[in-house]
Structure 1
């Protein structure tokens, strides 16, 4: 049987990072993906969990608006809240993560020589 998820989306907030009781780095990402159909745009939110080195990299490099590629598996679980009600959860446990870009990533002009003009074709000696 196969349990495989592939997502590309943007972070809705900075990663939530912590260290577990077993001294393992853990990062939680809220990842938005967008679906388009019949002139309609629909956004889904996914809770992605990263461990160890991936969690450390997420903490260091990701922020709200960052675009990432995630491969992982779905994990269904639940917890009991303060009122004693069982709350179901759905997490994506990431096996692979790749940084795609940040929201503010814009093409930039190359540094230096910005004021150099192109030579006139008449000035080129042939």
Structure 2
């Protein structure tokens, strides 16, 4: 049996980076800052997120820097070769399957939770 599931709740680090492909597919990249539960919570953990399809379009339209979101997906490791040095590189990426918009416009008032599943569209 194998299991690769990641659940995160945090604040978006910057506005979405959205790409539309000739094939009609949509890809969105985000960064997410997640606070670690420790006494000396000085720095958040940062995660790179990748969203596709309708979920990517929702993120492009409704997610902005500082927005509180929840995501569910899987961990993948992206590999490439550095163009200048030829050194093999890799980075972890969270492939998001489900996106939840949390909070309200001000994030201080109680608001509704909006859920978006890539598999629902």
The question of a shared fold, defined as TM-score above 0.5 by the shorter chain, is answered with yes
The reply to whether residue 4 of structure 1 matches residue 11 of structure 2 is no
Unpaired runs of 5+ in structure 2?
110-121
Distance 2:105 2:47 in 1: 18
In the alignment, which residue of structure 1 is the partner of 2:79? Answer: 78
**Any idea what the Cα deviations from partners look like across 1:52-86, whole Å, max 9, x if unmatched?**
10100101000000011100000012111221222
Q: Equivalent residue of 1:22, what SS?
A: coil
Q: Equivalent residue of 2:65, what SS?
A: coil
Unpaired runs of 5+ in structure 1?
108-126
Q: Equivalent residue of 1:40, what SS?
A: coil
Aligned residue pair count: 107
In the alignment, which residue of structure 2 is the partner of 1:99? Answer: 101
Distance 2:95 2:28 in 1: 11
Asked if 2 retains the 8 angstrom alpha-carbon contact of 1:67 and 1:103, the reply is no
Q: Equivalent residue of 1:101, what SS?
A: coil
Distance 2:44 2:21 in 1: 31
Taking structure 2 as the reference length, what is the TM-score of the superposition? Answer: 0.80
Aligned ranges for residues 26-105 of structure 1 at < 5 Å? 26-37=27-38, 39-41=39-41, 42-83=43-84, 84-101=86-103, 104-105=106-107
Asked if 2 retains the 8 angstrom alpha-carbon contact of 1:65 and 1:102, the reply is no
Taking structure 1 as the reference length, what is the TM-score of the superposition? Answer: 0.77
The structure with the larger Rg is 1
Distance 1:81 1:21 in 2: 26
Q: Equivalent residue of 2:35, what SS?
A: strand
Runs of 4+ in 1 over 6 A off after TM superposition: none
